[in-house]
Chains A and B, each alone.
Chain A
């Protein structure tokens, strides 16, 4: 177990190093000079001032020196200094990560629970109308552009029937509410973005849960259990369900990077103050240190989630560890 873990960690470290090098090179390769852009933000600059700024950020040194400096800093937990926000990137990311995690975790949980429920139910009456309905709904969920769903939800529930807040994470006067009031306020703001984000993954999970449930229900040991006279309910919910959930959880882990992508669109539509909006803003400002930091941080999260899922998997299903 320990060996596996350390091998996974080593692998993860290699992966993250590759992410850093690749992104750094990509942004470096791009046409245009970040210093010129920076000078642009300040309203233009003379060649002398440009050279001065370039030297100030160490951008006049050869590529490999810059890269090594950057890697060295990251190793010490320093993701650099944002050009635009004029703040340490690590701080900027930590400020925003909470909001994104809240959104993503709520959406994933909702999608997992509801998706598994729908999948299991539809697997039980395969070829029945319910199964068809779940299939169709999940295809529809996959096919609708997520930002479009968000806009339509806003138009419906914040404009036509004004029952939910339009956007953001808290009300203008949240500062005057008590702790419970604030929590309720954030919860109200979460409803639409969470539903929007969950709609995509609901589709995936319900289909996956359905498929793996069908697999498990057809497997020998469930047949044996049924033959032994265990009740249908017990078989489905105790034995089969647990085994059917494994692939869904694994898939959720693998898909985590894509969840972050979805969050960029959803956060933009709902002005949710998370990493997605930060990424979009820093892209629009050509704030490469922040952008690099966010890409790295998302990769870090994905890797961590995958290791966690992997470990969880081994705990649930000891057969894997034995392989």
Chain B
């Protein structure tokens, strides 16, 4: 992280001609770009995404085929990372599993953000009774251990990828909701919001078109964190045997191979490493975004 820019030391602007104002997004990107850790995170994240998008097409070995003797160590065959407990190519599993993991994590995070923003926006914008009621619901979901609740949901309704994503989203949205609410409460009293209201803008317009874009920066950071948490969550469920048995995911590779860990450290270590790196990349980017988008921190 580099020295923060000091506003007072900026050269005074020439009066003419009026330069293009630097857009907030561009300014944030400048901040972000100077943040070494965040840039490493971004590079890592792009790598992970590219792998999930293109990897399966480029690497032709099927993750379902039993291609070699089970539990072959890395480097001992043409399958670089070795094989799993039934002789499937671990690398193929990681490549295909990445896609499943990211899709589940991503959709769960999207659901988390959608519910959280919806609840938080209404609570913060309307206040009063609506706020009270919605916050009670939020509190309710906060007092239940979310993993346990997600386990119950997956268990009772079946371990399909869709159910898993829904279960994760449904139990993870509370902090996003709280954050959104606080932002909305702050922003709804802003002058430009009042101005819009005075010219007769509808509630819907005020919520979605006026306030939400201004509340976006912290929500983007929170969404990034949700994606990381959702991936960890999916892995946890799969580890407990509640993953979809028809879809290879990183968590499932760990869960399935765990009984063989004494003979095949690689089959547990590599998928764990993959999860770790993916979530770390997301966290680094989220952290960088936080620094870049949060003006309060910028002043420091």
**Which A residues have a C-beta under 8 Å from some C-beta of B?**
14-15, 18-19, 22-23, 26-27, 29-32, 126-127, 132, 135-136, 139-140, 142-148, 151-152, 155, 159, 214, 218, 254, 257-258, 260-262, 264-265, 268, 279-280, 283, 286, 291, 294-295, 298-299, 302-303, 306
Contact = CB atoms under 8 A, between A and B. Distances in A.
Contacts of B157: 30-31
Contacts of A254: 142
7 contacts: A127-B3, A142-B283, A143-B277, A148-B235, A218-B300, A261-B147, A279-B151
A144 B282 CA distance: 12
Contacts of B216: none
A254 to B, nearest CB: 7
Given A19-B140, A145-B239, A283-B151, A140 B146 contact: no
Nearest to A16: B143
Contact of B155 (A19, A148, A283): A283
Contacts of A257: 142-146
A295 B262 contact: no
A147 B37 contact: no
Interface string B257-298: 010011001001100100111011011100100000000000
A31 B155 CA distance: 10
Interface of B: 1, 3, 37, 136, 139-140, 142-149, 151-153, 155-158, 228, 232, 235-236, 239-240, 251, 254, 258, 261-262, 265, 268-269, 272, 275-277, 279-280, 282-284, 287, 300
B269 A15 contact: no
A146 B235 CA distance: 10
Contacts of A261: 145-148
B233 to A, nearest CB: 9
A27, A145, A283 pick with most chain B CB within 10 angstroms: A145
A148 B254 contact: yes
B143 A142 contact: no
A298 B145 contact: yes
Chain A binding surface, main DSSP class: helix
A127 B1 contact: yes
Nearest to B242: A283
A15 B143 contact: yes
Contacts of B152: 23, 26-27, 283, 291, 295
B232 A22 contact: no
Given A135-B287, A146-B232, 19 more contacts: A18-B136, A29-B156, A30-B156, A30-B157, A139-B280, A142-B228, A143-B232, A145-B275, A147-B235, A151-B272, A257-B142, A258-B146, A258-B147, A265-B147, A280-B151, A283-B152, A295-B145, A302-B142, A302-B144
Contacts of B287: 135, 139
Contact of B144 (A27, A136, A148, A295): A295
Contacts of B262: 159
A259 to B, nearest CB: 8
Contacts of A135: 37, 287
A148 B276 contact: yes
A171 to B, nearest CB: 21
Given A145-B272, A152-B269, A26 B156 contact: yes
Contacts of A29: 156
B254 A143 contact: no
Contacts of A260: 145, 148
Contacts of B145: 257-258, 260-261, 264, 295, 298, 302
Nearest to A286: B155
Contacts of B148: 260-261, 264, 279, 294-295, 298
The 10 A-B residue pairs with the shortest CB-CB distance in the complex, in nearest-first order: A30-B156, A261-B147, A148-B272, A143-B279, A143-B280, A260-B145, A261-B145, A302-B143, A299-B143, A139-B283
